[in-house]
Amino acid sequence: MTAYNTAYNDEKAARALLVRTARSLFTRGLTHGSTGNLSVRLADGSLLLTPTGSSLGTVEEADLSRTDLTGRHLDGPRPTKEAFLHAAFYRSRPSVHAVVHLHSTHATAVSCLDGVDSADALPPLTAYYAMRVGTLPLLPYHAPGDSSLEPLAERTARTHHAILLANHGPVVAGATLEKASDAIEELEETAKLHLLLRGHATRPLTPEQAAALATGPS
């Protein structure tokens, strides 16, 4: 199997990092109940993911699942039913080594609004949003775990490292788990600002200002 240039050469350390990150996201209210899932790509190309039905607040290192890039279960408990979304991002973006999917409140609220621009669901209200997220396509509604979303997600991931699933929540890929987590948190805060400012005249960054700041997932 092809080796990847990644920080996640040590599976034990990667498991510890996934659990620490999951706890942090949960305790800070960025996800709830048994929603949300995280993954990293290991040096051998396999994926380490949170399992189906688990809470990011209580998941343990021994609970994590491992799949290949097609989503085939290799070992551990059964992976999240949205493992195909993670695999789609990794296949499309060889430079990323982590994916975070949350049902964070404000981003999910934006995904439920009528009239959202499907090409870019949030305006670039802040410089950090432009740097860490960029444009945010809104993908049409599919039931959680509906693998018919996979081809569309894979195509979209070729040009965007962040997407918003209609009536569902955001998915963000990054070069590291820290970067993916920072980006999805920035997305959530921008969604909150967007909702707070509804009905007010806003002054987003210009396309030129946003383009000058865009850096992608690395």
82 as an active site residue: the answer is yes
On whether residue 6 sits in a domain, the answer given is no
On whether residue 151 sits in a domain, the answer given is yes
pLDDT digits (tens, 9 = 90+) for 46-104: 999 999 999 999 999 999 999 999 989 999 999 999 999 999 999 999 999 999 999 99
Output the domain CATH number for residue 27.
3.40.225.10
Categorize the per-residue pLDDT at 127 as very low, low, confident or very high, splitting at 50, 70 and 90. very high
Residue of 11, 128, 150, 189 marked active site = 128
CB 187 within 8 A of CB 135: no
On whether residue 97 sits in a domain, the answer given is yes
129 as an active site residue: the answer is no
- Asked if pLDDT for residue 42 goes beyond 90, the answer is yes
Does an H or E element contain 24, and which? Answer: helix 11-27
Q: What would the mean pLDDT of 176-181 be, rounded to a whole number?
A: 97
Categorize the per-residue pLDDT at 5 as very low, low, confident or very high, splitting at 50, 70 and 90. low
pLDDT digits (tens, 9 = 90+) for 134-171: 999 999 999 999 999 999 999 999 999 999 999 999 99
Name the domain count of the chain.
Answer: 1
Residue of 4, 8, 82, 185 marked active site = 82
On whether residue 5 sits in a domain, the answer given is no
**In the prediction, which pLDDT does 4 show?**
55
- Domain range spanning residue 174? 11-213
On whether residue 2 sits in a domain, the answer given is no
On whether residue 3 sits in a domain, the answer given is no
On whether residue 218 sits in a domain, the answer given is no
Q: What would the mean pLDDT of 176-204 be, rounded to a whole number?
A: 97
- Asked if pLDDT for residue 129 goes beyond 80, the answer is yes
Q: Tokens standing for 93?
A: 């973006």
E strand map for the chain: 37-41, 47-49, 65-67, 73-75, 98-101, 138-139, 162-165, 169-174
Categorize the per-residue pLDDT at 111 as very low, low, confident or very high, splitting at 50, 70 and 90. very high
On whether residue 47 sits in a domain, the answer given is yes
